[in-house]
Amino acid sequence: MTEPAIRVAGLEKTFRVPVREAGLGAAVRSLFKREHREVRAVDGVSFTVEPGEIVGFLGPNGAGKTTTLKMLSGLLHPTGGDATVLGHTPARRQAAFLRRITMVMGNRNQLQWDLPALDSFELIRAIYRLEPSDFRRTRDEFIEILDLGELVKKPVRNLSLGERMKMEFVGALLHRPQVLFLDEPTLGLDVTMQKRIRTFVAEYNRRYGATVLLTSHYMADVQALCRRVIVIHHGRLLFDGGLAELATSFDATKTIGVTLKDGSADLSAYGEILSSDDGRILLRVSRADAPEVTTRLLRDLPVADLTIEDPPIEDVIERVFADAKDERDDATAAAKATAATAASD
How do residues 172-199 score in pLDDT, each as one tens digit?
999 999 999 999 999 888 888 899 999 9
Q: What is the pLDDT of residues 226-267, one digit of tens each?
A: 999 999 988 899 889 998 788 777 777 889 999 988 877 889
Write down the pLDDT at residue 213: 97
Write down the pLDDT at residue 138: 95
Domains annotated on the chain, with CATH: 6-247 (3.40.50.300), 252-309 (3.30.70.980)
Between the two ends of the chain, the Cα-to-Cα distance in Å is: 57
Q: What is the pLDDT of residues 103-143, one digit of tens each?
A: 999 877 888 889 999 999 999 999 999 999 999 999 999 99
The CA distance from 121 to 220, in Å, is 30
* Rounded mean pLDDT, 162-179: 93
Under 8 Å between Cβ of 122 and 83: no
Q: What is the pLDDT of residues 267-276, one digit of tens each?
A: 989 999 988 8
* Dihedral sign of CA atoms 269, 275, 279, 282 in order: negative
Length of the chain: 345
Q: What are phi and psi of 54, to 5 degrees?
A: -115, 115
Q: What is the secondary structure of 107-153 as a DSSP string?
A: T---S-TTSBHHHHHHHHHHHHT--HHHHHHHHHHHHHHTT-GGGGG
Percent of the chain with pLDDT over 90: 57
* Rounded mean pLDDT, 148-171: 92
* Poorest-pLDDT segment among 55-69, 171-185, 326-340: 326-340
* Poorest-pLDDT segment among 29-33, 70-74, 119-123: 29-33
Write down the pLDDT at residue 34: 76
The mean predicted confidence, pLDDT, of the chain is 87
Q: For residue 332, is pLDDT > 60?
A: no
Write down the pLDDT at residue 345: 54
Give residue 207's pLDDT band: very low, low, confident or very high (50, 70, 90): very high
Write down the pLDDT at residue 339: 46
What single letter denotes the amino acid at residue 325? K
Give residue 340's pLDDT band: very low, low, confident or very high (50, 70, 90): very low
